[in-house]
Amino acid sequence: MPSINAAIVVNHLSKIVDSSESSLTILQQISFSIPEGDSVAIIGSSGSGKSTLLGLLAGLDVPSTGSVQLLGQDLSTLDEDARAAIRQRDVGFVFQSFQLLPHLTALENVLLPLSLAGKEQPEWAKTCLERVGLGHRLQHTPKQLSGGEQQRVALARAFVSKPRILFADEPTGNLDATTGQQIIDLLFSMNREQGTTLVLVTHDENLAKRCQHTIRLEAGRLVEQAP
* Residue type, position 147, single letter: G
pTM score of the predicted model: 0.88
3-state secondary structure 79-95: CHHHHHHHHHHHEEEEC
Domain ranges of the chain: 37-50+79-226
Q: How far is CA 105 from the centre of its chain?
A: 22
**Would you say residue 4 has pLDDT above 70?**
no
Other CB atoms closer than 10 Å to residue 174's CB: what's the count? 19
Greatest CA separation for the chain: 54
Other CB atoms closer than 10 Å to residue 17's CB: what's the count? 11
CATH architecture of 37-50+79-226: 3-Layer(aba) Sandwich (3.40)
Average pLDDT over residues 20-33: 92
- What confidence category does residue 48 fall into, taking pLDDT thresholds of 50, 70 and 90? very high
Distance CA 15, CA 20 (A): 17
* pLDDT for the residue 2: 43
Judge whether 152 and 181 are in contact, CB under 8 Å.
Answer: no
**Would you say residue 1 has pLDDT above 50?**
no
- pLDDT per residue as tens digits for the range 120-152: 889 999 999 998 889 999 999 999 998 889 988
Contacting residues for 73 by C-beta, under 8 A, at least 6 apart: 86
Q: What crossing angle do the helices spanning 106-116 and 122-131 adopt, rounded to 10°?
A: 130
